[in-house]
Structure 1
Amino acid sequence: MQDMLTNIWRLTSYISNRFIQFLEDLVHRDTNRWTRNFRVTPGLFSSVHCAKGYTGSTSSQPPQIGGENNGIGERKVSNNCKELLVDKRSVILNVNYIFSTIPSILLKRIKSRAWKTWHGSSDDIGWLQHAPEMPPVQDGTSRFLELLSDIRNGEHSLPTSFVYLLIPGLFSNHGPLYFVAPKRFFSKMGLACHIAKVNSEASVEHNALELKQYIEEIYWGSGKPVMLLGHSKGGIDAAAALSIYWSDLKDKVAGLALVQSPYGGTPIASDILREGQIGDKATRRIMELIICKIIKGDIRAMEDLTYEKRKEFIMKHKLSLDIPLISFHSEASMAPGVLATLTHIAHAELPSLPLLKFSIDESDSYVESGRQVPVMIPASAAMAVSALHLRLRYGAKSDGLVTCCDAEVPGSVVVRPNMKLDHAWMVYSSKHRNSNEPNACEMCEALLALLVELGDTKREVEQIL
């Protein structure tokens, strides 16, 4: 790095010196040509042409050399021509000054970009905890674990008086199994449960409007208030809908649980899209190619998760505390064994090949379903590597994409389970499942059960007051 800066310095100095020499030669050549064309006497220029061009006289006739006004005219000619030479010398000095400062300006810019790249999101992580006038959070982990234990023992307490809406996060349109398992789990219990059909790659404000219309449609169709559970960006979209359209939704929404949502922002998005760092324009072009051209999304979907955009939005749109709020976050495992973990993401369909039927009872639909195979990707391994990166660079605990402190919504009840869960665990199932540990469906049920309890407690307090 030092050798490169030294070479840049030498090249810049060489170019600037050559350019300055060129300007000096040009000015001296013009000066010599100018003095050869006019007669010069000691102390003054006596050319009629010089007097005509540079005396500054308001008269249309050039002053005559000789006679009564000879001394005055000569002094005017001499002074103005000297001023012309002084101006040319000052131009040379200014050019010298400008080009002598170019290398220092270039070095300062390189240092600024290098520092901004190295510093990254160090000053932004956890900014919600230090922001003035932010309400404190409450710890609801112990009660959550109690409800989770009851659910695993077969005690289910979710009432049928609500409609439960699951809101997926970024890139969920490309994961057909996103929230499918929890929805089936709730439906088997006789609960009205839906997965919000929103464009996961759209901006937060765009999805906020879509969710507002979606909630109103559910409410007017069922007559029941809606319980919201949003994962990742889905929680941000839901919170934005309540913040912007609270007057329209306050009687239709019973609570909101934000699961691993970067409410304060995420260093992953900020470090990728931060302006003023090394390679910022090239990185942005790559992300625009991936999101806008390949995925057919909106770059604002990722921009809205940066610290800069989240600060701007939260300060502009306040989230009401009149409804129960839960923030759930976790820490990803960074153990070496996680690197071999495969996550069940979606299904890929095999080409239409003739498959043999081994019995007459096998239907055509069964044979067709046999052409679909599960897609396994190392999502857990990627989250582990990302979590290790955030821990080493910023010293922050995270699920691989969202730091724990940035997932805590001010004024909410925070759930901090002592479990190693990565960012994709709550919506996708792992290939290696331990029956002795709770699964994602049971975790979602416990969060919603806690949300219902908070709503009941809030109504009881309001009745007493």
Structure 2
Amino acid sequence: MFRFDPTFLKLQKLIRMGEAGQSRDGESVTPLVGGGTGDNAVAPQVFNSLPALNEAASYITQATSYLGSCFSDYSVEYGGKDSCNSISHPHELIRSTSGVDGNSPVSVCISPGERFSTSSEASTSAANSPSRESTETLPQATNAIVTSNRLGFNGISMFQGLIERARRTVRGSADDIGWLQRDPEMPPVEDGTDRFNKILEDIGHGVHRLPNTVVYLLVPGLFSNHGPLYFVDTKTKFSKMGLACHIAKIHSESSVEKNAREIKEYIEELCWGSNKRVLLLGHSKGGIDAAAALSLYWPDLKDKVAGLVLAQSPYGGSPIATDILREGQLGDYVNLRKMMEILISKVIKGDIQALEDLTYERRKEFLKNHPLPRELPTVSFRTEASISPAVLATLSHVAHAELPLTNQAAKLPVVMPLGAAMAACAQLLQVRYGEKSDGLVTCCDAEVPGSVVVRPKRKLDHAWMVYSSLNEVALEADAAQVCEALLTLLVQVEEEKQQKLATKND
């Protein structure tokens, strides 16, 4: 019959008293939550903006520290009849005497080469003689106290991991947004807003300056195969002006590199058929795909491309995509990643990598290996969505439905609350990160380093470039006019680069 040493029972009592914040004599001790020093000090304030999470983190840290100090030298091992002499647990049994009468035995299993002693045992040996210890085998041992720091360390590591995970979740993409502007290796941008506004005003008065000596290629963004009106109005108006305009028919839900190859083939085919250079305008992910095509295949395309416009493109990355897909972010807690995989892979028949390519990690990696050519004329267009309550009632025109009500088929507009969705997303990004956005892309991530940036004061959400609004203001420019103004500005930038190059060569 084996009994635990009374010292261990006292230790259990002290643990219970420590949890209650009282010592055995009724004196107050340092509680798990609150002020303290040493190992029980309050954890750093890691969640300044969320006091509830900060208090929870402080409690977890102190609880871990307290439990670790209690169990850093003691752990109970429960095993079968061979727990002390099995191959996996080669222990030595040490019988020590301690307690009030000095004759209460306790059976202890320790690892070879280690020695176990209690406080009472130490005092006894100091006052009288060396402690009586003997080593013998006990195959029938069922439980024992072993000296080990692993339990305390594992507990601390586990709780620290939980705290770090919670911190990453709260921080989200805060450290990634705007990384392009903070990177010293990236070239600065030039503000072209005033020039753009002047061009747009001229277009409103019927002055059009787009040349017909180039071919215009419009590259739609994510889910463009399911938007029947995507860039259709822009192409129609360009054609009426006698301009050669095409919409790239790519599978937008494919990866960036796959679409880059297809765009390269589009450019080469257009140049071969028209003997003209190509001006590209990509919206959202379409701008990323077009930029990737020029980055990856620039030696083959440098004589075929006159410039690139990136409209509302997450060139630096998207916080929405990152928060859905990154480990430890919001998508982990509500299975958003799984839902997006089912939506893109099963329903739309796309590739989840199309969304992954828009995360900050992927964009940083890609731009590090494949930056845009410095000599390429580039214009970037970023906007800010309105978050006013009136926008929540906005409906956007996405398609037409033909109804045979009479002898002639009647067309009924198909509308969706895209404006309301963009406003809600913009509000979320504003509250969580303090960043302005068009609903999906933050303003700073849409500005391409080395480009001429257009920052309009007009509130335009991410979907506005794709679909016309039902309550469009007559005096405001529509999406086709904005595209025309952006491409006209690009032509001017390209001419300026050519002039600088000619002057440099002279």
Q: TM-score, normalised by structure 2?
A: 0.72
The reply on whether 1:98 has 2:150 as its aligned counterpart is yes
Alpha-carbon shift at residue 345 of structure 1 (Å): 1.3
Query: Does the 8 A contact of 2:178 with 2:316 survive in 1?
Result: yes
| Distance change in 2, residues 1:29/1:326 (3 Å) | closer
Within 1, Cα distance between the matches of 2:85 and 2:263?
Answer: 74
2:420 maps to a residue whose letter is A
The reply on whether 1:287 has 2:347 as its aligned counterpart is no
Within 2, Cα distance between the matches of 1:84 and 1:208?
Answer: 72
Among 253, 265, 286, which residue is 1:201 paired with?
Answer: 253
Aligned to 1:222: 274
Within 2, Cα distance between the matches of 1:240 and 1:151?
Answer: 31
Alpha-carbon shift at residue 108 of structure 1 (Å): 2.0
Q: Secondary structure at the match of 1:426?
A: coil
Within 2, Cα distance between the matches of 1:348 and 1:355?
Answer: 12
1:147-200 CA deviation, whole Å, 9 max, x = no partner?
Answer: 101000000111110100000001111111111110111011110000001111
Higher RCO (C-alpha 8 Å, min separation 6): 1
Within 1, Cα distance between the matches of 2:343 and 2:146?
Answer: 51
Query: Does the 8 A contact of 2:85 with 2:137 survive in 1?
Result: no
Query: Does the 8 A contact of 1:232 with 1:261 survive in 2?
Result: yes
Aligned to 1:410: 449
The reply on whether 1:399 has 2:455 as its aligned counterpart is no
Count residues in correspondence: 392
> Within 5 Å, which residues of 2 pair with 1:279-428?
280=332, 282-348=335-401, 355-357=405-407, 366-367=408-409, 370=410, 372-428=411-467
Aligned to 1:158: 210
| Distance change in 2, residues 1:440/1:355 (3 Å) | closer
> Within 5 Å, which residues of 2 pair with 1:77-226?
82=135, 93=146, 97-226=149-278
1:375-427 CA deviation, whole Å, 9 max, x = no partner?
Answer: 21111111111111111111111100001100111100001111100001112
Q: Which of 1 and 2 has greater Rg?
A: 1
Aligned to 2:83: 27
Within 2, Cα distance between the matches of 1:378 and 1:384?
Answer: 10
Query: Does the 8 A contact of 2:77 with 2:146 survive in 1?
Result: no
Query: Does the 8 A contact of 2:394 with 2:420 survive in 1?
Result: yes
Within 1, Cα distance between the matches of 2:209 and 2:136?
Answer: 94
Within 2, Cα distance between the matches of 1:463 and 1:279?
Answer: 52
Query: Does the 8 A contact of 2:323 with 2:330 survive in 1?
Result: no
Q: Secondary structure at the match of 1:166?
A: strand
Within 2, Cα distance between the matches of 1:3 and 1:328?
Answer: 43
2:426 maps to a residue whose letter is A
Q: Secondary structure at the match of 2:229?
A: coil
| Distance change in 2, residues 1:112/1:29 (3 Å) | same
Alpha-carbon shift at residue 227 of structure 1 (Å): 0.4
Q: What are the ranges of 5 or more consecutive residues in structure 1 without an aligned counterpart?
A: 31-80, 358-365
Among 272, 294, 298, which residue is 1:242 paired with?
Answer: 294
| Distance change in 2, residues 1:278/1:384 (3 Å) | closer
Alpha-carbon shift at residue 93 of structure 1 (Å): 2.3
Query: Does the 8 A contact of 1:24 with 1:92 survive in 2?
Result: no
| Distance change in 2, residues 1:464/1:289 (3 Å) | same
Q: What are the ranges of 5 or more consecutive residues in structure 2 without an aligned counterpart?
A: 1-52, 87-133
| Distance change in 2, residues 1:28/1:255 (3 Å) | closer
Bigger helix share: 1
| Distance change in 2, residues 1:191/1:23 (3 Å) | same
Query: Does the 8 A contact of 1:140 with 1:414 survive in 2?
Result: yes
| Distance change in 2, residues 1:83/1:409 (3 Å) | farther
Q: 4+ residue runs of structure 1 moved beyond 6 angstroms? A: 1-6
CA RMSD, Structure 1 to Structure 2 (Å): 3.0
Q: Percent identity?
A: 58
Alpha-carbon shift at residue 92 of structure 1 (Å): 5.6
